[in-house]
Structure 1
């Protein structure tokens, strides 16, 4: 079990939003959890807005503002949302066990939507690029 699970959803969200969360525990799974918490609490539109702002602020406070990738952020939120609509889970831990592909095959999941590398594209870092293979909606 990853270290971020030591925090409740409320405490995890609060620490992240206030940039108090230890960047060392903000793993890929923690990113997915952040999306799940926001989608669960605020819905898709508000989550897209809130997470982008919070991730930019968190990356800056951690001293790595260049790590933020707008396309990857939006695509990840949309992917989590897609699976949440099909989920029977009542918690993130149940959710990630129900859909382990999000954690273990995320790159391949993104490759099904994008015919180019959104992980290393400078353009994808600064603007949202729509999928060219398979839309999220």
Structure 2
């Protein structure tokens, strides 16, 4: 069985695009890594759009779920991008070690980004972040 670390970036992206990624591997770290891949490949704006489309289709086609959360998906991309700009590393796993809150306290980062808890329900509507992201706590 493949693990997240064993999948090459192109293979991970391909499996998400083709809905062949095992649902057990579609976890928080995987979703951060997908955002990382898309940001490095396309830049923030296009990565955000592609990430939203990819995840929405993956939820529908691979997970048979309507629990896709648009604001949360945007937050994955925007928050990760913020921390990528703060770091000099070009390695995803080094970034997670440098900023462990990405992996272990993401819910609080999202609350800070949006100013409230968007995780209470699965939303499809647009919710705008508060503006400049300040993760100084």
User: Which TM-score band applies after superposition, normalised by the shorter structure?
Assistant: 0.7 to 0.9
After TM superposition, list the pairs within 5 Å mapping 1:8-23 onto structure 2: 8-23=8-23
- Tell me if structure 1 keeps the 8 A contact 2:48–2:74: yes
Q: Which runs of 5+ in 1 are unaligned?
A: none
Decide which structure has greater helix share: 1
Partners of 2:112 and 2:133 within 8 A in 1: no
When normalised by structure 1's length, the TM-score is 0.88
After TM superposition, where is structure 1 displaced by more than 3 Å over at least 4 residues in a row? 134-137
Structure 2, unpaired ranges of 5+: none
Could you give the per-residue CA deviations for residues 63-115 of structure 1, whole angstroms, max 9, x where no partner exists? 43322100111112100010011111122111111111111010111122334
**1:47 and 1:70 mapped to 2: Cα distance?**
14
TM-score w.r.t. the length of structure 2 is 0.88
Residue 82 of structure 2: aligned partner: 82
How do 1:1-137 residues align onto structure 2 when only pairs under 5 Å count?
3-122=3-122, 125-132=123-130, 135-136=132-133
Q: Distance in 2 between matches of 1:49 and 1:71?
A: 12
Question: By how many angstroms is 1:26 displaced?
Answer: 1.1
CA-based RMSD:
1.9
